[in-house]
Structure 1
Amino acid sequence: MIATALTELLRIRVPVVQGGMQWVGKPSLVAAVSNAGGLGILTALTQPTPEQLRVAVRETRAATDKPFGVNITLLPTINPPDYQGYARAAVEEGVRIFETAGNNPSKLIEYLKSNGCIVIHKCTTIRHAKSAERMGVDVLSIDGFECAGHPGEEDIGGLVLLARAAQELRIPYVASGGIADGRGLAAALALGAAGVNMGTRFMCTVESPIHPNIKDTIVKATEQDTIHIFRTLKNTARVFKNSVSMEVVALERRAGGAQFSELRDLVSGARGKLVYENGDPDYGIWSAGVVLGLIKDIPTCEELVKRIEKDAEDTIAEMSKRVRPMAKL
């Protein structure tokens, strides 16, 4: 067993977190990850209302007696969701582990900590991580440039970002972006992380609620099959490279750029949701990390987590054999 500060804090067997993913972090996947020994995370905003999040929490608890969490991501939007309502519903249902992300999380973090919750906050820069540390979060998720979704605007890869985290942070952190196997877990541990956060890899499992055709698309894809959109709008997102995302980029690159109003219909969340439901990978925008290049199968969550655990242990043991200290004179 690989025991770290993360496994001890969350009371999980393997230091692997399934990150919150819109339309994907549903009870079937969350319970499967937690039952496998990792930490499954429900995505609050996948549910239309806080009351429906209550239902999802109850469904998850009926399927696992292991720890699981809830993700609440603060989105830049004109009409923000009822974040406090989602948080309150989850807390009242007994959830005590939360993954937070997005801008200005202080009020949300204050509420969660006042209710005795463990908070994992996602950051793409060390300065934001240090700010969250001051807010009192328990664990930081350090997202490198390789990650799906929003990697920030500074384009720092995980290798440097995680090493910087080891230099600067006082609390445990997990590595996110570009990780799909035990070798990645071992590398993250070597860089000072207490575990890993995986999104795209868990999308491609038996229990993932997305359409089988999208899972097959992930298996066939390579690390070259993602693209950044919204770069010109300073809200960069890494998504699957398809006809829609290519059209968005083309509009952004034209003379004079593009306003969000011109892109809204192409990038709507409703279209992205239908990708997962109907199985057409070209229908809308959907998140995917460069870790696509490492995904070659569709295992159960139990098979995947066990494989990661064993391969990480084997990699660590192999390193101790392969790297031999020189004899001192």
Structure 2
Amino acid sequence: MRTRFTELFGVEHPVVQGGMQWVGRAPLVAAVANAGGLGFITALTQPTPGALRAEIRRCRELTDRPFGVNLTILPAISPPPYDEYRQAIIDERVSFVETAGSNPVEHLRHFHDHGIKVIHKCTSVRHALKAQAIGVDALSIDGFECAGHPGEDDIPGLVLLPAAADALDIPFIASGGFADGRGLAAALALGADGINMGTRFMCTQESGIHQNVKDRIVAAGERDTRLIFRELRNTARVADNEVSQTVVEKLRAGARFEDIRDLVAGARGAKVYETGDLDHGIWTVGMVQGLIQDVPTCAELIIRIVREAEEIITARLAGMTGPHGSVTHDIVTQ
């Protein structure tokens, strides 16, 4: 299955494991790469730029295939040393970077000067067009279904993806709501060049998060997420638990960020993944958990997705066409 994305990034399958805070570590990324997909180490999961260098080298010990690093750029009172993380990526000769959050223009020239291709994540067509204009190599278009930050427009993938396909010239992958071959086939039909999955890759054998979290994802339905920070116009989709319910209630009652800061601290969310205490803090998960029924290896998952998509495209859809290429319908009337 070849697309503009697989050709540009030199990977076997149009399936991407995007950056995930506290999740995107070397064993998972290498497993995705070895299975023919494209995985991304999450830079800011590592406490220092030096730790990121070590994690990149660790990944290279586990795979000889291409992988990348995610660098999410967000406004903060005390921002991390983004320039130093960027330099670690450059010095370790990483081939691909996924940027997200703020405009990546400050970092783009440095990456391109060293031959590094950049995928930028966007939640709207207007932002995607701006990213294309500044010269990113590809885009990841996030629909409202996604885990993490879906933006403030609330446009689901079924509308957002074809709108992006109509507007963009560069390759893009579809993010938010993808877990199986049906999703891959749909994304390709809507104009994308592949799919990006987060929650689905959380629930794999090589994912380093606690088994309790994986079991919760398998058991949960598509309605078991919460949108927090809506009142702050920084919407995030997270698991529905005691902490996220409290945050929603407090903000609806007029609380300020300072009033909930301790509840949403990243360190608390990291502890969920480490200890399996599902109500210890905020943790990110997408609506697509309602489609996840098992915990396979990354290789099993990617092979399954590609085979199912190929079957849908070549057999099911082809079987709907008549002898002259027209779509046939078997309609039962009463």
Range class of TM-score, shorter chain: over 0.9
Q: Deviations over 1:204-234 (max 9, x none)?
A: 0000000011100100000010010000000
What corresponds to 2:205 in structure 1?
206
| Counterpart secondary structure, 1:98 | strand
Shift of 1:87: 1.2
Runs of 4+ in structure 1 off by over 3 angstroms are 323-327
- AA aligned opposite 1:7: T
| Counterpart secondary structure, 1:232 | helix
| Counterpart secondary structure, 2:232 | coil
Distance 1:35-1:326 versus aligned 2 partners, 3 A rule:
closer
Q: Deviations over 1:123-179 (max 9, x none)?
A: 001110000001110111000000000000000000110010111001000000000
What corresponds to 1:306 in structure 2?
303
Q: Deviations over 1:54-79 (max 9, x none)?
A: 00000000100000000000112111
Work out whether 1:285 is the aligned partner of 2:282.
yes
The counterpart of 1:274, out of the listed 263, 271, 274, is: 271
Aligned residues: 324
Unmatched tracts of structure 1, length 5 or more: none
Contact in 1 for aligned 2:103/2:131 (Cα 8 Å): no
Q: Deviations over 1:180-206 (max 9, x none)?
A: 001100000001100000000000000
TM-score, reference length from structure 2: 0.96
Contact in 1 for aligned 2:21/2:45 (Cα 8 Å): yes
Give, in whole Å, the separation in 1 of the partners of 2:110 and 2:239: 35
What corresponds to 1:322 in structure 2?
320
Q: How is 1:62-211 mapped onto 2 (pairs within 5 angstroms)?
A: 62-211=61-210
| Counterpart secondary structure, 2:174 | strand
Give, in whole Å, the separation in 2 of the partners of 1:305 and 1:326: 32
Q: Deviations over 1:65-105 (max 9, x none)?
A: 00000000011211111111111101111101000001132
Work out whether 1:265 is the aligned partner of 2:265.
no
- Alignment root-mean-square deviation, CA: 0.9
Q: Deviations over 1:273-323 (max 9, x none)?
A: 000000011110000110010000000000000000100100112111124
Distance 1:326-1:9 versus aligned 2 partners, 3 A rule:
closer
Q: Deviations over 1:219-254 (max 9, x none)?
A: 000001001000000000000000000000000111
| Counterpart secondary structure, 1:31 | helix
Give, in whole Å, the separation in 2 of the partners of 1:300 and 1:72: 26
What corresponds to 1:10 in structure 2?
9
Give, in whole Å, the separation in 1 of the partners of 2:140 and 2:321: 29
